[in-house]
């Protein structure tokens, strides 16, 4: 039988798996976690959307009419970046109260904390609604693992009555995140020799007019009281093959972040109309809806009470600026209440010398235990 490490030790072990995406290679890490969870009585299933791209779904089912509580986090991490690290990104060194390494904040500390918490409470779980742990691959490049198991539905995910997403929030509970609509737009022209531009049609000039219009684009969507307004950013631009030719193709990538009430299909139609006739084509690269749970929801209020006690400060409704796997999992579970709550620091996500405070990992494990206990203690009234 494997010995279950505590949350901090388990974070260190997970960081030591190189799961940089691309390519990901989450399989070994997922299998390691699956072995630990099986050793304490969990049922474990694996799903792969590509070779070695493994998502783990672990369940500990009890009894009663109340649905289990879901925890989710991802195993893949972003590339190391261009700036040199002052520490080994996969050594998981602990120094001055910080645990360093790629993924320490985003989200291996969160995964470790809920795995350790659930394992510690396994006997309670077997006597109540239980839990389901959805530990995904491929989140950083479009939540491929989460969407795969979401498509499989109850056959893979089972049921859940609420979701805790272990993304980095510094352990502050958040009740939603903005949606993401990433679009590729392109223009066409007619090539000609650079010395005779009048004989061609310049696709970059067309695109420059589109970019100028996008800077002035106004969303016909009211701002959200917590998430604020929708935003649009032109993040990439390219075009042309060589300096002495009229370019016949230009392309941009735009990042739109949306709030509840935004209809992505209508938004794409509005953009096409607004950018005509210069626009040649549009393709959605990522299309994730926003996630929002009413802060007055009973379970949300229970979590707020728990976290106010742990953090020793009042909790006000807040939302994450980034998207999460909840974009796939919350609809798959029928729109259940969802809270984003993890020990990582959002300022540390994707940064050189990424770290997580050791005390925050311990705090998250305690918070997850309290959330599980409350879920089970109120199961008779659900």
Q: State pLDDT tens for residues 12-70.
A: 999 999 999 999 999 999 999 999 999 999 999 999 999 999 999 999 988 778 999 99
Verify whether residue 139 is a known catalytic residue. Answer: yes
What pLDDT sits at residue 2?
A: 54
Q: What is the average pLDDT across 335-358?
A: 96
Q: What is the average pLDDT across 189-202?
A: 98
SS3 265: helix
Structure tokens, 225: 């009281």
- Of these residues, 26, 106, 120, 139, which one is catalytic? 139
Rounded Cα–Cα distance for residues 47 and 149 (Å): 7
Judge whether 39 and 122 are in contact, CB under 8 Å.
no
pTM of the shown model: 0.94
Identify the DSSP state of 49.
E
Rounded Cα–Cα distance for residues 216 and 214 (Å): 5
Query: Which residues have CB under 8 Å from 338's CB, separation 6+?
Result: 162, 163, 164, 165, 175, 176, 291, 293, 326, 329, 330
C-alpha closest to that of 102 among 45, 149, 140: 140
Q: What is the average pLDDT across 281-305?
A: 97
Residue 207: φ, ψ to 5°: -65, -35
Assign 1 a pLDDT band (cuts: 50, 70, 90). very low
Torsion region of 268: left, alpha or beta (phi above 0 gives left; psi -120 to 50 gives alpha): alpha
Q: What is the average pLDDT across 84-95?
A: 98
What pLDDT sits at residue 63?
A: 79
Q: What is the average pLDDT across 350-361?
A: 97
Q: Is the pLDDT of residue 196 over 80?
A: yes
C-alpha dihedral sign at 161, 29, 177, 318? positive
Q: What is the average pLDDT across 195-207?
A: 98
In 168-297, alpha helices (H): 203-215, 264-275
Query: Which residues have CB under 8 Å from 161's CB, separation 6+?
Result: 66, 67, 68, 69, 129, 299, 336, 337, 375, 382
Domain with CATH 3.30.70.360 in the chain: 179-288
Other CB atoms within a 10 A radius of the CB of residue 147 amount to 20
Structure tokens, 211: 């970019």
Rounded Cα–Cα distance for residues 245 and 35 (Å): 59
Verify whether residue 255 is a known catalytic residue. Answer: no
CATH of domain 7-177+290-381: 3.40.630.10
| 179-288 to CATH, choices 3.30.70.360, 3.40.30.10, 3.40.190.10, 3.40.50.300 | 3.30.70.360
Domain with CATH 3.40.630.10 in the chain: 7-177+290-381
Assign 195 a pLDDT band (cuts: 50, 70, 90). very high
Q: Is the pLDDT of residue 381 over 50?
A: no
What pLDDT sits at residue 233?
A: 98
C-alpha closest to that of 319 among 234, 235, 257: 257
What pLDDT sits at residue 380?
A: 47
């Amino acid at each position: 039988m494997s010995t279950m490490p505590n949350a901090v030790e388990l974070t260190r072990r997970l960081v030591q798996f190189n799961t940089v995406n691309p390519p990901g290679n989450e399989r070994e890490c997922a299998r390691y976690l699956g072995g630990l969870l099986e050793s304490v009585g969990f049922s474990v299933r694996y799903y792969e959307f590509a070779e070695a791209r493994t998502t783990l779904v672990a369940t500990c089912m009890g009894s009663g009419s109340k649905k289990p509580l879901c925890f989710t986090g991802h195993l893949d991490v972003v590339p190391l970046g261009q700036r040199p690290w002052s520490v080994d990104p996969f050594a998981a060194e602990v120094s001055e109260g910080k645990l360093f390494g790629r993924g320490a904040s985003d989200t291996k500390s969160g995964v470790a904390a809920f795995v350790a918490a659930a394992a510690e409470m396994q006997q309670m779980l077997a006597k109540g609604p239980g839990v389901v742990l959805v530990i995904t691959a491929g989140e950083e490049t479009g939540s491929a693992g989460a969407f795969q198991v979401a498509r499989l539905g109850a056959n893979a995910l089972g049921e859940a009555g609420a979701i805790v997403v272990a993304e980095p929030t510094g352990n502050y509970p958040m009740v939603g995140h903005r949606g993401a609509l990433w679009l590729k737009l392109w223009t066409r022209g007619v090539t000609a020799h650079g010395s005779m531009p009048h004989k061609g049609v310049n696709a970059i000039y067309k695109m420059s007019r589109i970019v100028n219009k996008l800077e002035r684009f106004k969303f016909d969507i009211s701002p959200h009281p917590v998430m604020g307004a929708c935003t649009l950013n032109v993040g990439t631009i390219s075009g042309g093959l060589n300096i002495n030719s009229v370019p016949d193709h230009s392309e941009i990538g735009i990042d739109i972040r949306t709030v509840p009430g935004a209809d992505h299909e209508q938004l794409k139609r509005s953009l096409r109309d607004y950018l005509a006739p210069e626009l040649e084509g549009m393709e959605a690269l990522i299309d994730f809806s926003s996630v929002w749970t009413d802060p007055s929801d009973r379970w949300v209020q229970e979590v707020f009470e728990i976290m106010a006690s742990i953090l020793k400060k009042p909790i006000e409704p807040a939302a994450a600026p980034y998207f999460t796997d909840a974009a796939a999992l919350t609809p798959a579970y029928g729109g259940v209440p969802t809270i984003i709550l993890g020990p990582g620091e959002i300022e540390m996500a994707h940064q050189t010398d990424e770290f997580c405070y050791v005390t925050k990992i311990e705090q998250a494990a305690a918070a997850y235990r309290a959330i599980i206990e409350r879920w089970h203690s109120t199961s008779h009234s659900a």
